[in-house]
Amino acid sequence: MRAAPNVVSAERYPVAVILIVEDDVFIREVAEMLIQDWGHQTLSASDIDEALAILRSPQPIDALFTDIYLKTLVHGGCDLALQAIALRPGLRVLYTTGNTLTDKMKALLVEGTHFLCKPYTENQLQTSVKDMLAPE
């Protein structure tokens, strides 16, 4: 049984539409559930093609939460973030991976974005989402 969601006031934690891109169904569904518990809306995709279709739609999207290593491409999340920002300038990005973040990988991350290492706790995810959405 899960504890009651830790709801943070909208004043400190703006409500956002977050696109979650994760090829692991379990991880994606847990992230969706938690982020929705915090009052945000979520959209989800399991790969780059699905994510780009959503990003090209008129659907409002405030942020992208993407795994770096997607099944189809080793640096898929990095490529996706670049395309997503080109389609939607100002889009906020939070990357995640369970793999070691090498210097080569760090160089591929878009400047001004955020990173969360897997496995992460609910509190770590909440803090990372909050930081990603915070005004600059």
Count helices and strands in the chain by DSSP H and E runs: 5, 5
Look over the chain and give the mean of its residue pLDDT values, rounded to a whole number.
Answer: 88
Q: Is residue 23 part of a domain?
A: yes
Work out how many domains the chain is built from and give that number: 1
Q: Is residue 10 part of a domain?
A: no
- The domain spanning residue 21 has which CATH number? 3.40.50.2300
pTM assigned to the model = 0.87
Q: Is residue 65 part of a domain?
A: yes
* Residue range of the domain that includes 72: 17-133
User: Per residue in 10-64, pLDDT tens?
Assistant: 445 568 999 999 999 999 999 999 999 999 999 999 999 999 999 999 999 999 9
Residue whose C-alpha is closest to residue 22's, from 13, 30, 14: 30
Q: Is residue 91 part of a domain?
A: yes
